[in-house]
Amino acid sequence: MVPTESFPPFILNISKLTLNYWGIQAFRKAATDAPFQEIFPILLGMILAGIFFSIVGSYFLNKNLKKGLFK
């Protein structure tokens, strides 16, 4: 795991758009014994993103199955 502080500023700004960044932040806070109140918003955001991407993925999978693209 690479510390995010070692990246250049433009990469750091881009990395904040990824779930990997938020997972690393939650892990680092948990490893440093941060209170659950600091970790909870990150976890909630990751759970909501997971639900969102699961719904979107299911929609496109069903759409492609109905077209007959997967046999």
pLDDT tens sequence for the chain (71 residues): 677 788 899 998 998 899 988 998 999 999 999 999 999 999 999 999 999 999 999 999 998 888 887 66
Number of H helices, E strands in the chain: 3, 0
Per-residue pLDDT, 37: 94
Rounded distance, CA 66 to CA 3, Å? 44
Largest CA distance in the chain: 50
3-class secondary structure, 29: helix
0.85 exceeded by pTM:
no
Buried b (16+ CB within 10 A) or exposed e, 37-53: eebeebeeeeeeeeeee
